[in-house]
Amino acid sequence: MNAAIPLSAQLINLFAAVILLLAFAMLAQRRMLSLVNLFAAQGFCLFLATLTAAVTTGQSHLFYSAGLTLLLKVIALPWILYRLVRQLNIKGEVEALINIPTTMLVGIVLVMAAFNVALPISELSHTITRGTLGIALAVVMLAFLMMITRQKAISQVVGFLSMENGLFLAATSATYGMPMVVELGIALDVLVGMIILGVFFFQIRDQFDSLDIRHMEKLKDN
């Protein structure tokens, strides 16, 4: 059984598991800068997973993809986020809507659901790292949960990017990469989205004097 798994697949599984762990850590994290750190660490694990997949399969586009991940998710985006946190002078703890232990419990339920959904699919796959599909889905769900429960704009964005990480994990580990054009396009979208968000943050702050999105609940159907 287990002995049949080659080392590379084991490594990818390990990185995937660590990515999941980091997703949980982000869910539990209260401080903004640590959140960005965790996001960078998650990106780094994603990079390692992609790199392992690239070395194993020898597909050149996976190398590009890994490089792209390193540049974007480990260096560029955390750097932008750092700058934003510092320039916007965001201090104090991340305010969560639901207390953190409850969030964690909900998170576990989500992970179970994700694994349940992914199990029948992974059984169909040929790739040895098919189990990562479930993890990717779980990471997406957890990021979604984080976006729902957090009230600061930046932590919502980190949640959004973490969701993107989960999707990338699904793309690179479970299927050994999407076609190159697509990956480039996705990376471009993420980057542009981040830049737009950066602009956006300043607009929000100028307008509301805060990045707390509780200020932005005026538009409702009464």
Partner 1 sequence: MSFSGALAQLFAIALALVLAPLLSGWVGQCRAWLQSRTAPPLLLPYYMLRKLFEKDVVLAHNASSLFRAAPFVIFGCMLLACAIVPTLSTDLPFAPAADALALVGIFGLARIFIALAGMDVGTAFGSLGGRREMLVGFLAEPALLMVFFTLAMIAQSTSLATIVETLAHRELIIYPSLAFAGVAFTFVSLAENARVPVDNPATHLELTMIHEAMILEYTGRHLALIEWAASLKLYAYSCLGLALFFPWGIAPGDNILALAAAIPLLLLKLAIGGFLLAAIETVNAKMRIFRAPEFLGTAFMLAVLGLLVRLLLEVKV
Partner 2 sequence: MDFFILMLAIPLVSGALLTVVGERDWAPNLNVVASLGTFLAAVGLTAEIVANGPRFAFGEQFFIDSLNVFFVSLTAFVGLTTSIFSGPYMRNERDRGRLSKPRLRLYKSMYQLFMFTMLAALTTNNLGILWVAMEAATLTTVLLVSLYRTPASLEAAWKYFILCGVGIAQALFGTVLLYFAAERVLGAAGNALLWTHLVDVKAQLEPTIMALSFIFLLVGYGTKVGLAPLHNWLPDAHAEGPTPVSAVLSGLLLNVALYAILRCKVLADGALPEGYAGQLMIGFGLFTLLVAAFFLSRQKDVKRMFAYSSIEHMGLITFAFGMGGPIANFAGLLHMTMHSLTKSAIFFAVGHATQKTDTQLMEQIRGLIRINPLIGWGLMLGTLAILGMPPFGVFASEFMILTHAMKHYPWAIPILLLALGVAFASIFGKVQPMVFGETTAKRLPHAPAITPVFLHLGLVLMLGLYIPPYLTRWFHEAARMLG
The tokens describing 146, both together, are 């984080």
Q: How is residue 140 written in tokens?
A: 């997406």
113 touches partner 1 (CB under 8 A): no
Report residue 147: phi and psi, to 5°: -65, -35
39 binds, among partner 1, partner 2, none (CB under 5 to 8 A by kind): none
DSSP 95: P
Shortest approach of partner 2 to residue 221 CB, angstroms? 5
* Tokens 């299927």 found at: 175
Nearest CA to 154 among 219, 92, 220?
92
Cα–Cα distance, 213 to 211 (Å, whole number): 6
Question: Judged by CB, which is closer to partner 2: 3, or 220?
Answer: 220
Shortest Å, Cβ 131 to partner 1: 4
Cβ–Cβ < 8 Å for 136, 21: no
Q: Contact region for partner 1 (CB under 8 A) — 21-29, 37-45, 63-71, 161-169?
A: 21-29
What residues make contact with partner 2 under the rule CB under 8 A? 59, 117, 120-121, 124-126, 133, 136-137, 140, 144, 147, 153, 156, 160, 163-164, 167, 170-171, 174-182, 185-186, 188-189, 192-193, 196-197, 199-200, 203-204, 206-208, 213, 215-219, 221-222
Q: Between 108 and 196, name the residue whose CB sits nearer to partner 1.
A: 108
Q: Which of 2, 89, 203, 222 binds partner 1 (CB under 8 A)?
A: 2
| Distance, CA of 25 to CA of 35 (rounded, Å) | 9
Q: How many residues does the chain have?
A: 222
Give CA–CA dist 12/131, Å, rounded.
Answer: 10
Q: Which of 122, 125, 151, 210 binds partner 1 (CB under 8 A)?
A: 122
**Nearest to 216, CA basis, from 146, 157, 152:** 152
112 binds, among partner 1, partner 2, none (CB under 5 to 8 A by kind): partner 1
Residue 167 within binding range of partner 1, rule CB under 8 A: no
Q: State the helix-helix crossing angle for 153-169 and 132-149, rounded to 10 degrees.
A: 170
| Shortest reach from residue 170's CB to partner 2, in Å | 5
94 neighbors 150 (Cβ within 8 angstroms): yes
Q: Which residues here bind partner 1, judged by CB under 8 A?
A: 1-5, 7, 10-11, 13-14, 16-18, 20-21, 24, 28, 100-101, 104-105, 107-108, 111-112, 115, 118-119, 122-123, 128, 131-132, 134-135
